[in-house]
Structure 1
Amino acid sequence: MEPIVLGDAEIIRVREFQGPFTPAPVIVPGVTAATWKENEDWLAPDHWDPATDSYVGALQTWVIRHGGRTVLVDTGVGNGRERPDSPHFHQRQGDLLALLAAAGVQPEDVDTVVNTHLHADHVGWNTVDRDGAWVPAFPNALYLLPAADFAGLEAATDPQSDGYHMFADSILPVRQAGQAMLWEDRHRIDDALTLEAAPGHTPGSSVLRLASRGERAVFVGDLLHSPVQILHPSCNSCFCEDQQQAAASRLRVLERAADQRELVIPAHFGGSAAAEVRRAGSGFSVSRWAV
């Protein structure tokens, strides 16, 4: 895929998977069947399969190159993980490192790993299995972890939960290796990249803002699972832990994106995956897809 160029920054999508994931009424329960149908002309087939009424999503990592720095935004599910709560992710075998290599990114090239939040499908390739031990997949990277999510996972004690295993195999190893930084509220990576808290989906959910030579983007993680949430920002995904707070964060981020012409880049949009949004009544609309 051709990179997105914003100012001096290059953005590359590295996609491991795209396809039907779960019934659309399950993924965004507040959206009516009529809304999906009325927007079929642009939701299908990249974001919705009308034949099965399935939500279509992607597992992908975004690579940002700017000022000599290589940044990864979220790292997918990983390989060989115990995920008892998530059949889609349990013992999955993917090839993110090979896909990154095909895009010209070797593990040692990565300077920074951003986990927008600590859910299983955003942290899995933080680590790899080396001789039976989980070790950082990116040996020179600083891993930026939301402190609020870290605290919740650190307290997980149920060995039958995703969180318990995820902390052990994808979070704790980078912390023990001295490569993790816990942050809260706001963290400036460099003159172009800034992390900001956007809680609700998880307590520590965040967005990453990019600004370079007057052009802007915002990586919104799971604030948006589907483009229908752009039309109806009060509608949460079924995975949002604090529904009211998630809706408030989504509205705030979309308002700024529309007003400041930030390109919106969610974690899981299939097909066309980065959107310019504009205000439209009480909600928003997609004015252009970037990729």
Structure 2
Amino acid sequence: MEHMELTELTGQTEQIELGDVTVTRVKEYYGPVGMTPGAFIPTSREDAWRDNDAWHAPDFLDPRTNIVNAAVQSWLLRSEGKTILVDTGAGNDKERPYSPVWSHLRTDFLATLGRAGVAPEDVDIVINTHLHVDHVGWNTCLDGRDWVPTFPNATYLLPKDDFDFWNPDNGHKPLLGRGNQNVFEDSVAPVHRAGQVHLWEGSHRIDDNLRLDTAPGHTPGSSVLTLVSGTDRAVFVGDLLHSPVQLVDPEHNSCFCEDPVGARATRRRILGWAADRNALVVPAHLGGHGAAEVERSGDAFAIKGWAPFTPYVRAEEDEAQVTNA
């Protein structure tokens, strides 16, 4: 991504109830990502975006500039008395020489989290669906000259395959080249040294409502979080897909997928699961409505409906509104 000013930082939060689980959307950034559709999703046709302007523009594509819009956000889940944060965005103060758009940010993400009723010490579990630069940034924050865990009481659930792949000691050559430089050192290794990391493999049950499973392709350890509570279903897919174009045609990869063949197979499998179970598909970076239900359409899929998120209002704010009415 080219360097730009992040002018559309946002403190918005929205929520939805899924069975016994409350899901709150906590945005760090929403706006242009400096890439055209053809650059971001190279196999997608321009007309596939233009023919669906009704749901692409302006939430996912700015028709004036032909630049993709996306969100960097976390999903805050409250389940069985636990406070769980899914992905932690880009973070503040990070040195990102080969990803300048994420370098030395100063956002109010923690204040936004506070407006959702959560302080850093309240978080019980942090989930990194994978270890790309824009998913682990708030794992740590700067304390003097040291990177320390932002969430001091949390267990950080990291997929072991991604931990091993991105560990520079192992000498892997990722597709991103140096695009993830410094990320392991400042956002992953410190929480591991602090003894707060649980490296899981294959599948990991969090509670009766939530389960993590590996879903490789985007990265070797990419994972999805499945929510099953009462009659509600959802799957948090990380970067398995970024755009509605991929919701309807799982053959399209983003330019960031390490294993294109594996990513396509995983995306098709997860979308099939969601379509067959009326489950909400919740990507990490989907702007606009943030999530959608899909249904089968021949060998592909169709968007059945968007997630009905509503603005989050804290209980004391709600009481104040009633009192002042």
Matched, 1:100 2:116: no
> What SS does structure 1 have at the residue aligned with 2:90?
coil
Q: Is the 8 A contact 2:80 2:207 kept in 1?
A: no
Matched, 1:6 2:23: no
Q: Is the 8 A contact 1:224 1:266 kept in 2?
A: yes
1:190 to 207, 219, 236: 207
Runs of at least 4 residues off by over 6 Å: none
Q: How does 1:1-291 map to 2 (within 5 A)?
A: 1-21=13-33, 22-155=35-168, 161-290=178-307, 291=309
> What SS does structure 2 have at the residue aligned with 1:3?
strand
Q: Deviations over 1:87-118 (max 9, x none)?
A: 21111222211110011011111010000000
Distance 1:214 1:131 in 2: 48
Distance 2:14 2:250 in 1: 29
Q: Is the 8 A contact 1:149 1:202 kept in 2?
A: yes
Distance 1:279 1:84 in 2: 42
Residue 164 of structure 1: how far off its partner (Å): 4.0
Q: Deviations over 1:35-68 (max 9, x none)?
A: 1110011111001112211111001000000111
Partner of 2:323: none
> What SS does structure 1 have at the residue aligned with 2:101?
coil
Distance 1:123 1:276 in 2: 27
Q: Deviations over 1:165-186 (max 9, x none)?
A: 1111000000000000111111
Q: Is the 8 A contact 2:94 2:103 kept in 1?
A: yes
Residue 83 of structure 1: how far off its partner (Å): 1.2
Amino acid at match of 1:17: Y
- Identity of matched residues, %: 53
Q: Deviations over 1:199-248 (max 9, x none)?
A: 01000000000111121110000001111101110000000010000000
Amino acid at match of 1:153: W
Q: Is the 8 A contact 2:98 2:180 kept in 1?
A: no
Amino acid at match of 2:148: V
Name structure 2 gaps, 5 residues minimum: 1-12, 310-325
Distance 1:211 1:41 in 2: 31
Distance 1:271 1:87 in 2: 24
Amino acid at match of 2:25: R
Q: Is the 8 A contact 1:82 1:162 kept in 2?
A: no
> What SS does structure 2 have at the residue aligned with 1:81?
coil
Distance 1:44 1:283 in 2: 22
Structure 1 length-normalised TM: 0.97
> What SS does structure 2 have at the residue aligned with 1:249?
helix
Residue 162 of structure 1: how far off its partner (Å): 4.3
Q: Is the 8 A contact 1:126 1:171 kept in 2?
A: yes
Structure 2 length-normalised TM: 0.87
Name structure 1 gaps, 5 residues minimum: none
Distance 1:161 1:276 in 2: 36
Residue 2 of structure 1: how far off its partner (Å): 4.0
Distance 2:267 2:246 in 1: 9
Distance 1:26 1:182 in 2: 33
Q: Is the 8 A contact 1:113 1:141 kept in 2?
A: yes
Amino acid at match of 1:264: V
